[in-house]
Amino acid sequence: MDLTAAYASTKSALLGLSKAAVGELGPLGIRVNMVHPGGVATEMGAPGGAVPQEYSKAPLGRIGQAEEIASVAAFLASGSSSV
């Protein structure tokens, strides 16, 4: 059993929650950002370090790296992203 329906529905729920938070918190000067990476070279995205072949068809031709996601998150959390 794949269980992708549960995973996909929770990601969709977070998108809706984030959009609602933008409308509620934006007027208070609170920024809300979303990061929705595709496949990332973690135990979930590349179990045992084996990158699934389908990532060769991704726009960059490779799987994402955790450090790339972390740097985006750090930027969004910084004051530099509000300029």
Please give the positions annotated as active site.
7
Query: Rounded to an integer, what is the distance from CA 26 to the centroid of its chain?
Result: 21
Whole-angstrom Cα distance, residue 4 to residue 70?
A: 24
Whole-angstrom Cα distance, residue 10 to residue 70?
A: 21
